[in-house]
Each structure stands twice: as C-alpha cells, then as structure tokens.
Amino acid sequence: MLDDTLAARLGRVGVWHGGLGTAPAAVAREAAQEIEELGYGALWFGEGPASKEALSHAGLLLAATRRLPVATGIANIWVRDATAMNAGANTLAEAYPGRFVLGLGASHAPLVDGRGHAYAKPLAAMRTYLDGMDAAAYEAPLPDGPPARVLAALGPKMLELSATRAAGGHSYFVTPEHTAQAREVLGDGPLLAPEQAVLLESDPVAARALARDHMGVYLALPNYVNNLRRLGFEDDDFTGGGSDRLVDAIVAWGDADAIRERVRAHHDAGADHVAIQPLAPHRGLGLDQLRELAPVLLAG
C-alpha cells in the first residue's frame, strides 16, 4: 500500500550510515541523536553479514531518538523468513508510530550464499516474500497503519515491483542519471529515495583514493556492476578501483557547494529524498562532515 505521507515524513535530505552497524551501541546512539539534532530528515543504515541485525539495530536507534524516522537500507530477505520480518516491522511501527521504515532487499549472491542460503531469482523471491509478509498472522497490537516499506531497486522490474507492492524504491550506489530513469519507471507518487556517498575533500587525489576504498566492495558485486553498465559505464571503468569518471559519478566530493549540487541533481531528476552517506578516513563516522553540510543541505 502506498503511503502518501512517507516522503513528507522523511524530508528532502537524510543520512545513510553503514558505520553504525559495527559501532558500539553507545556510539551509535549518540550519533543518531546528533543526526536528529542537526535536522536531517531520516537515518538509514545497512545490514551486512557481520554487522548488527537490522531490526534490533533499528530498535536501538529508534529508542535513542525522539522524532527521527529510522529506515533499514536494507533488511535482507534471505536471512529471516517473511513471518519474522512482518512481526518485527509491526513491533517497531507500533512502538514508534510513523517513524520506522522497512527497507527490504534481495542483497547479493556472495553475501547470501556465504551464510548458508541459496540466492536465486531475486525478483521472484521478492514477490513471494511480500506475499508471505502480507499473509502472515500477527496477534500482538498492530500499529495505526501498516509499516511503511520500500524495496531496494536498481533495475526496471524491481522498480516496478516497488511501485505496486511497496511505498516506493530505495536505490544505492547510483547516479542522478539513474534517479531520472527510476522516476520514469516509478511514475508519479511512489517514493524514490537514492543514497549518495559524499566527501568533503577538495584534493582530487585524496578524494578519489578514499572514494575507491569505499567503492571496492561494491564493484565486486555483479548487481551493481550490471546496473552501472546500463548507465553506460564499460569494462575500463571497473578496473583499478574504478576510473576517475566512475568515481566522480558515484561519490560527490569537493566543498559543501559541490555536494549540494549533486544532491540537487538527484532532486531535479525526481528523487523525493536523498540519503547522504559521509565517507571518512579509517572508516570513521564522518559526523564532522554532517555538521558542516547540514546548514547547506537543509536550508530552505
């Protein structure tokens, strides 16, 4: 069911933060509180094979904040069954009205098969999973409305599914050009919430080095590479940690104005909400960057 108020609840700019998944709970709580105080519209986080479990992590962050929407970006459909996902989402949505967003995704074969599951036909698997969630029994108190859910979506078929079976799509490791294509597939109404990696660093050598460190894991995953090929990138762009052209397309680096322009490009292309992911040396949390960017990105 589409949620017409979801885009308004999330605001125009939020934060996507992978580092909170491996940070101590106390550090994650403090970071979430500061992100809320800075005025960002929502806090997204990922779920890796060695990070905090997504739904308990969401509960930790929701409990630490007062108003901030918290979104899984994404909760992996292969590692908990549909009944468990439905129960967890309802539990959080009832406890924190209007603040929990369930981002669901099919993840990637290397991350799924390595955990003893069998990754296959992700689109069909997602359809079946959503059917299971919708049919699942749940006898505890329900939230006022069904938990908002979005689907991790890159290709046109998953984007179509996110428009018909969810509130919209969450795209990751994408460009504004992909955002424009995604909006065309989604049409008007469904939420479109891309992630955008950002880095306050004006030295091209330093910025691209840190960007390549961030991008390496994703360039080893076929789903992302295939999506980039659809956007016109070629074999040479994927060697050596990524060509300058690819690095500059995926990571917005430079001063605050340069990052504002990239976020604006996503909005102009049809994004309702852009979740910025701060990159920092030594896998830091990048809160200093979020502090500097807040008055630039959240003004007006």
pLDDT tens, position by position, 76-90? 999 999 999 999 999
pLDDT of residue 113: 67
Question: Residue 48 above 60 pLDDT?
Answer: yes
pLDDT of residue 11: 97
pLDDT of residue 282: 86
2 band by pLDDT with thresholds 50, 70 and 90: very low
Question: Residue 64 above 90 pLDDT?
Answer: yes
Question: Residue 56 above 80 pLDDT?
Answer: yes
End-to-end CA separation in angstroms for the chain: 31
Nearest C-alpha neighbor of 247 from the set 183, 201, 193: 201
Q: Whole-angstrom Cα distance, residue 64 to residue 31?
A: 9
3 band by pLDDT with thresholds 50, 70 and 90: very low
Model pTM?
0.96
Each residue of 221-254: b (16+ CB within 10 Å) or e? Answer: bebbbebbeeeebeeebbeebbbeebbbbbbbbb
Question: Residue 245 above 60 pLDDT?
Answer: yes
Q: Which of 25-34, 117-126, 127-136, 231-240 has the lowest mean pLDDT?
A: 117-126
What is the arithmetic mean of pLDDT over 36-57?
A: 96
Give the number of C-alpha atoms closer than 13 A to the C-alpha of residue 57, restricted to the C-beta side.
Answer: 30
Q: Whole-angstrom Cα distance, residue 29 to residue 61?
A: 6
pLDDT digits (tens, 9 = 90+) for 123-159: 999 999 999 999 999 999 999 999 999 999 999 999 9
Per-chain mean pLDDT for the chain: 95
Q: What is the DSSP annotation of 34-54?
A: HHHHHT-S-EEE---TTS--H
Q: Whole-angstrom Cα distance, residue 10 to residue 116?
A: 35
Per the listing, tokens 């789903």 go with 223
What is the arithmetic mean of pLDDT over 236-254?
A: 97
What is the arithmetic mean of pLDDT over 229-237?
A: 98
Question: Residue 203 above 80 pLDDT?
Answer: yes
Percentage of the chain surpassing pLDDT 70? 97
Q: Whole-angstrom Cα distance, residue 141 to residue 114?
A: 36
pLDDT of residue 300: 65
- Neighbour-count burial of 123, counting CB atoms closer than 10 A to its CB (0-12 exposed, 13-18 middle, 19+ buried): middle
More confident of the two residues 148 and 300 = 148
What is the arithmetic mean of pLDDT over 52-76?
A: 97
Eight-state DSSP code of residue 232:
T
What is the arithmetic mean of pLDDT over 22-43?
A: 98
